[in-house]
């Protein structure tokens, strides 16, 4: 199998020895001889279209036509006409009938790139083609047949689009018969320099110059870059360095000067992890202290409001003085000292003098005798325990509840309708 993959790489100009790349390529080779639908997933610029061409070239349809269609580049209003064709007069501007791709490339392969951008109504038509090979031109009622193999590709997570209602679930499972995941360039670090050498040699041959080379640090710089644009971005940088570099042996400093964003990293910084942890712990402690200060101020305000509204006296004059002044440095609990720098609420009770209070003249908190005198004595009413009276009252409630309908009232009471009639007569209801 390795020799077969190597020959396929040479045939289609694939550069790389990554295990992930070989795995994806092996899947493409094995599925090529079938007519199963294939869904190729991967980031933009990883070479998904190359895989679709490999599948077509190794399939029994290799002598028929192949076309790659970018679903995201076709306007929503015309994509149905592009794919399935239209009849004359089907819409404004349809001056004649037109064959769509599914009719034109009958017997061949259609590669639908960015399938996640396809409109929902077009998805329904595509599902019918996949299931029965049937389609209808826009503006026609005649059912046509086609025999095409569909290979789809996406650079987004289709499962997320399914959950959000932007992609049909049945179409997703129909397309995803054989999934192929093309790895991103950052997952193929061992292939980055090989691809770079290929691009600079091609550039040198095209313009008849000497290909550039990288020093060791420059090579490491390329291999540790995240490559968000993948192979397409690597090719652009290789051509950019080939044109702009003054020396044929390019150093890391020269690369940084010509391509400043090459030093960007999308990884979390770990150089000062201990410092970061200390900052997080300090923030947590500050938040806790602020919350405690806020709660303490609210508690003090509540205590003063209780004292003021109930005309209370405090047993310990020194504690009240501390509450009024905000000085908690006095010893109240066996030598424990409280902070003294917290902001204080308004505690201006000038009419109260703690020094003149009598510690034996204490009044109950909350309960005020003057307020207590405003309430009269409570009258205790004995509960009626008569079975006959309670039964009579229950029957009245049931009849009122069901608007006099005796059958429903009897069911609600759990007795027969005949018994209810007898009770009504007995109690003269």
pLDDT digits (tens, 9 = 90+) for 98-135: 999 999 999 999 999 999 999 999 999 999 999 999 99
3-state secondary structure of 347: coil
Question: Would you kindly state where each structural domain of the chain is located, as residue ranges?
Answer: 2-183, 186-263, 290-373, 387-426
**Which pLDDT score is estimated for 320?**
55
- What is the predicted pLDDT for the residue at 422? 85
Contact by Cβ (8 Å): 139, 87: yes
CATH top class, domain 2-183: alpha beta
Per-residue pLDDT band for 330 (boundaries 50, 70, 90) equals very low
pLDDT bucket at 218, cuts 50 / 70 / 90 = very high
Q: How far apart are CA 184 and CA 194, in angstroms?
A: 15
Q: Which SS3 state, helix, strand or coil, does residue 398 take?
A: helix
Is 256 a residue whose pLDDT tops 80?
Answer: yes
CB-based burial label for 210 (10 Å; 0-12, 13-18, 19+)? exposed
> In this predicted structure, what is the pLDDT of residue 367?
52
- Mean pLDDT in residue range 364-368: 51
Q: Mean of the per-residue pLDDT values for the chain?
A: 82
pLDDT at 318 over 70: no
pLDDT at 173 over 80: yes
Tell me the mean pLDDT in the region 318-323.
56
More confident residue, 105 or 395: 105
The pLDDT of residue 396 is 87
137: pLDDT strictly greater than 60 = yes
Average pLDDT of span 301-325: 65
pLDDT at site 99 = 93
Closest CA relative to residue 199, chosen from 254, 236, 173: 236
* Reported confidence tier of residue 350, pLDDT bands at 50, 70, 90: very low
Instruction: Identify which has the larger pLDDT, 266 or 339.
Output: 266
**pLDDT value at position 314?**
57
Does the pLDDT at position 144 exceed 50?
yes
- Rounded average pLDDT over 37-48: 94
Average pLDDT over residues 200-212: 94
Contact 187, 223 (CB under 8 A): no
- Residues 6 or more apart in contact with residue 241 via CB below 8 angstroms: 200, 212, 250, 254, 255, 258, 259
Is residue 410's pLDDT more than 80?
yes
Least confident of 62-76, 80-94, 265-279: 265-279
The band of 335, judged by pLDDT with boundaries at 50, 70 and 90, is very low
Give, in order, the Cα–Cα distances in Å from 151 to each of 58, 67, 108, 338: 14, 10, 11, 74
Query: Who has greater pLDDT, 53 or 409?
Result: 53
Q: What is the band of 399 on the pLDDT scale with cuts at 50, 70, 90?
A: confident
The correct answer on CATH 1.10.10 for the domain covering 387-426 is: yes
Rg (alpha carbons) of the chain, rounded to whole number? 42
* Domain 186-263, architecture per CATH: Orthogonal Bundle (1.10)
pLDDT bucket at 166, cuts 50 / 70 / 90? very high
pLDDT for 165 = 93
Compute, in degrees rounded to 10, the torsion defined by CA atoms 311, 312, 318, 319. -110
Detail the DSSP E strand segments found in 5-115: 38-41, 66-70, 109-113
Position 197 scores a pLDDT of 95
């Amino acid at each position: 199998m390795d020799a077969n993959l190597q020959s396929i790489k040479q045939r289609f100009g694939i550069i790389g020895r990554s295990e992930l790349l070989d795995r994806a390529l092996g899947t493409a080779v094995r599925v090529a001889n079938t007519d199963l639908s294939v869904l190729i997933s991967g980031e933009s610029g990883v070479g998904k279209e190359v895989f679709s061409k490999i599948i077509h070239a190794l399939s029994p349809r290799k002598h028929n036509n192949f076309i790659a269609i970018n679903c995201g580049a076709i306007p929503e209003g015309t994509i149905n006409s592009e794919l399935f064709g239209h009849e004359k007069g089907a819409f404004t501007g349809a001056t004649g009938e037109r064959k769509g791709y599914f009719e034109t490339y009958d017997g061949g392969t259609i590669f639908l790139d960015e399938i996640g951008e396809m409109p929902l109504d077009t998805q329904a038509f595509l599902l019918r083609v996949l299931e029965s090979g049937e389609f209808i031109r826009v503006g026609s009622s005649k059912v046509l047949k086609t025999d095409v193999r569909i290979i789809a590709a996406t650079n987004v997570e289709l499962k997320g689009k399914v959950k959000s209602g932007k992609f049909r679930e049945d179409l997703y499972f129909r397309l995803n018969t054989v999934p192929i995941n093309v790895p991103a360039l950052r997952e193929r670090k061992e292939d980055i320099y090989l691809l770079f050498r290929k691009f600079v040699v091609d550039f040198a041959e095209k313009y008849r110059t000497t290909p550039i080379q990288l020093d060791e640090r420059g090579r490491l710089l390329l291999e540790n870059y995240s490559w968000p644009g993948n192979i397409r971005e690597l090719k652009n940088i290789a051509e950019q360095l080939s044109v702009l570099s003054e020396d044929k042996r390019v150093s890391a400093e020269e690369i940084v000067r010509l391509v400043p964003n090459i030093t960007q990293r999308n990884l979390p910084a770990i150089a000062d992890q201990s410092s970061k942890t200390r900052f997080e712990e300090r923030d947590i402690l500050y938040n806790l202290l602020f919350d405690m200060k806020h709660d303490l101020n609210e508690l003090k305000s509540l205590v003063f409001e209780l004292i003021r509204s109930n005309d209370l006296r405090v047993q310990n004059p020194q504690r009240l003085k501390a509450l009024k002044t905000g000085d908690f440095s006095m010893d109240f609990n066996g030598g424990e000292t409280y902070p003294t720098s917290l902001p204080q609420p308004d505690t201006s009770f000038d009419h109260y003098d703690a020094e003149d209070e009598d510690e034996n003249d204490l009044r109950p908190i909350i309960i005020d005798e003057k307020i207590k005198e405003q309430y009269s004595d409570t009258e205790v009413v004995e509960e009626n325990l008569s079975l006959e009276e309670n039964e009579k009252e229950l029957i009245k409630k049931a009849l009122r509840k069901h608007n006099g309908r005796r059958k429903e009232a009897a069911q609600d009471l759990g007795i027969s309708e005949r018994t209810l009639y007898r009770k009504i007569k007995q109690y003269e209801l």
